[in-house]
Amino acid sequence: MKNLLSLGMIALFLVFGCGNKEKKKTTEELSDETQVAQNESAIEEEVKFPVYDFAGLEPLLHKEGNKTYIINFWATWCKPCIAELPYFEKVNAERKDNVEVILVSLDMPSMWKSRLEPFVDNKGIKSEVVILDDPKQNDWIPKVDQEWSGGIPATLIYNKNKRSFYERGFTYEELNTELNKFLN
């Protein structure tokens, strides 16, 4: 009888003892996950541009308004991207009634405050700037365009009747030539 009682106590200890350790571990894991989420949220709150994962950005790639949309994928560390930004700005200013320019920054989170914000301020960029923060490039790149290798600069121009993707930089003249195909 003593042996049976001892076995029962050991069984209860194992069941409840392990359960408590599991709960503690789960609580610690949740605490770590919560801390990571809070850190990411704090970074996003500090930055002055909207931060999207691809699901959040995707509606910007499929607007159905009466404008022609220019979505430019760029980064502050990309020299060809920087070279063409003034052309997007000029088009945005000249054709704001029927063209909307959205500049999608692919800068890393560590660069948002230290590099992206000062760059946009110093260059006086008036176009809408958003940040794409989604590490699953292999998933979202083909959703932007099946043929896109992922290189930048890259630009999507579309309206309700036409859609074209360009994995290259533009001069002002080249950008207007392509844009005119959408506006005529």
5-54 per-position pLDDT tens digit: 444 444 433 334 444 444 444 445 445 454 544 444 444 458 999 999 99
Do 159 and 172 have their domain in common?
Answer: yes
* Host domain of residue 134: 51-183
Identify the pLDDT of residue 46.
84
Identify the pLDDT of residue 10.
41
* Distance (Å, whole) CA 134 – CA 140: 8
Identify the pLDDT of residue 45.
53
Q: Are 43 and 114 in contact, with CB atoms under 8 Å apart?
A: no
List of the chain residues with pLDDT < 70: 1-45
* Distance (Å, whole) CA 21 – CA 163: 56
Do 179 and 109 have their domain in common?
Answer: yes
Do 123 and 39 have their domain in common?
Answer: no
Do 90 and 156 have their domain in common?
Answer: yes
- CB under 8 A, 24+ apart: contacts of 123-126: 123/85, 123/89, 125/85, 125/89, 126/89, 126/92, 126/93
Identify the pLDDT of residue 73.
98
Do 59 and 18 have their domain in common?
Answer: no
Q: Are 74 and 111 in contact, with CB atoms under 8 Å apart?
A: no
Do 79 and 136 have their domain in common?
Answer: yes
